[in-house]
A and B are shown apart, each in its own frame.
Chain A
């Protein structure tokens, strides 16, 4: 008898543990999500009650979002033609601009971080250029490149190159001198030192710069499209404003929020994967 009594808790304990874990997980989720739910419900109820035209209720936003971009045939992954047009245009500009800025930023940043002379020469100029708010140059870019893809990519690239460049310079500057001296003693050439020691050591800071640049690129993509373009999520927004279609505008805003969230999440995941080996990365990421 006593054996059974003693045995029951032993076998039940892990099962109960799993149940408690699930319950705890659910409670934790509820503790985090309740305010979001309350806010959404409140928004829905209030906007429906007062029949507000400016603030579209969330359910209407979701249906508009679906109609506008995600009600296409299954063969196109449920994307509508508009979605293919808008997303491919917007995202192509965004990533081309970001990649170009990333490449230039890492190369110039590494040059400036490695050489004190270069740093002292160009730091004031770079600090000034960084301080110029990118939208001020949009009229200039429109004059020079006309409305269109080039102008949008240049706007994005000019705006996002600074966090990458300055972070790379900073990361490269703070590489452990002992490692560099060791490499020199072993007869490594400067190019090899740069590729195998300096850049990997600076990687966490470079990645942090690239991540900031990516969220900045989304902002500049929207700005450049708001000035006039035929396709893209930003042009959808400005079109909705001109024709006073509030649900369509809210759908665009929500879509941009989703993109921003996804970019950040995917990049963080990538960063964690790629920098798992780096001891300093953990500290920077947290």
Chain B
């Protein structure tokens, strides 16, 4: 069954590549606009061993992980605090709902003015963008914890920290993890847009901007986009795998809310 899926998937991918190749080679669309798929893949292969591009990937990954880690470290404890103090939680929810709709990329021009260092700028924007999905998922997950489970523990004489640690957090964890996965994909969008717009020294976005200004070779641009896609895919697969392994006992619920 799994073999069938792999075989079909490979066939589908090969088919799409072949169609793109034919469209470009026969001149159905302008080959300078849409270069043949084989050329794009060859360039992508060359990029994989290009030390300069690897430095770019490293810089993007660093900002991505750094910003994401920072927002997890802030958003989860903040969500726990706000979620366990009802008086603060209610008030915070209104503030969050007002700030959340502001598209994080709208802050790029502001960040260009505020921060001199490109890494600092990227990390702050990622931090802002990731804060909301994680904070909101933490808040709502803590609100949905089974009250019977909490009360049972409490009636056995456990204090508030123990209830939080033994019931609330484990039951909220899968939902928080979903928030982190959403935040990770938003963060990749933010980091690449920031690099493209604000410039800097290293980053996948810088590579793309350089190829654009250097005459604009579409095959090189698409090769860069291929690697960006691979990064996004790997991050998503990795986070999903972590969720699946860590929360095996709760897969049913994760499926329900995702």
Chain A interface residues toward B at CB < 8 A: 31-36, 39, 54, 117, 120-125, 127-129, 131-140, 142-144, 215, 218-219, 222-223, 226-227, 234, 237-238, 240-241, 244, 246, 249-250, 252-254, 256-261, 263-264
Chain B interface residues toward A at CB < 8 A: 4-5, 8-13, 15-16, 33-34, 87-88, 90-95, 97-110, 112-114, 185, 188-189, 192-193, 196-197, 204-205, 208-209, 211-212, 216, 218, 221-222, 224-226, 228-233, 236
**Assembly CA distance A143 to B91 (angstroms):** 47
**Assembly CA distance A224 to B255 (angstroms):** 34
B-chain residues with CB within 8 Å of residue A34 when the two chains form the complex = 91
Partner of B8, one of A120, A138, A215, A249: A120
11 A-B contacts (beta carbon < 8 Å): A31-B87, A34-B91, A35-B88, A123-B5, A127-B233, A138-B196, A139-B209, A144-B33, A219-B189, A241-B112, A257-B103
Q: Is the CB of A39 within 8 A of B229?
A: no
**Assembly CA distance A124 to B91 (angstroms):** 43
A-chain residues with CB within 8 Å of residue B112 when the two chains form the complex = 241
Closest Cβ of chain A to B222, distance in Å, is 6
A-chain residues with CB within 8 Å of residue B193 when the two chains form the complex = 135, 223, 226
Closest Cβ of chain B to A54, distance in Å, is 6
Q: Is the CB of B105 within 8 A of A132?
A: no
In the A-B complex, the 7 residue pairs with the smallest Cβ-Cβ separation, listed nearest first, are: A260-B101, A131-B232, A121-B12, A132-B229, A120-B8, A35-B91, A241-B109
**Assembly CA distance A240 to B112 (angstroms):** 12
Q: Which residue of B lies closest to A129 (CB)?
A: B229
B-chain residues with CB within 8 Å of residue A226 when the two chains form the complex = 105, 108-109, 193, 197
**Assembly CA distance A127 to B192 (angstroms):** 19
Q: Which residue of B lies closest to A143 (CB)?
A: B216
A-chain residues with CB within 8 Å of residue B91 when the two chains form the complex = 31-36
Interface secondary structure of B, over-half rule = helix
Q: Is the CB of B205 within 8 A of A136?
A: yes
Q: Is the CB of B103 within 8 A of A218?
A: yes
Q: Is the CB of B9 within 8 A of A123?
A: yes
Known: A125-B16, A128-B229, A140-B225. A261 touches B212 (CB 8 A): no
Q: Which residue of A lies closest to B113 (CB)?
A: A241
B-chain residues with CB within 8 Å of residue A219 when the two chains form the complex = 103-105, 189
A-chain residues with CB within 8 Å of residue B98 when the two chains form the complex = 36, 257, 261
**Assembly CA distance A218 to B186 (angstroms):** 13
B-chain residues with CB within 8 Å of residue A144 when the two chains form the complex = 33-34, 218
Q: Is the CB of A223 within 8 A of B33?
A: no
Q: Is the CB of A121 within 8 A of B113?
A: no
Q: Which residue of B lies closest to A135 (CB)?
A: B193
Q: Is the CB of B192 within 8 A of A136?
A: yes
Q: Is the CB of B109 within 8 A of A237?
A: yes
Q: Is the CB of A257 within 8 A of B102?
A: yes
Which of A140, A219, A250, A263 is most buried by chain B, counting CB atoms within 10 A of its CB? Answer: A140
Q: Which residue of A lies closest to B191 (CB)?
A: A133
Which of A136, A227, A234, A261 is most buried by chain B, counting CB atoms within 10 A of its CB? Answer: A136
Closest Cβ of chain B to A185, distance in Å, is 29
Closest Cβ of chain B to A272, distance in Å, is 17
Q: Is the CB of A121 within 8 A of B11?
A: yes
Q: Is the CB of B9 within 8 A of A120?
A: yes
**Assembly CA distance A138 to B196 (angstroms):** 9
B-chain residues with CB within 8 Å of residue A31 when the two chains form the complex = 87, 90-91
Q: Is the CB of A244 within 8 A of B113?
A: yes
Q: Is the CB of B205 within 8 A of A143?
A: no
Partner of A257, one of B11, B101, B229: B101
**Assembly CA distance A124 to B87 (angstroms):** 47
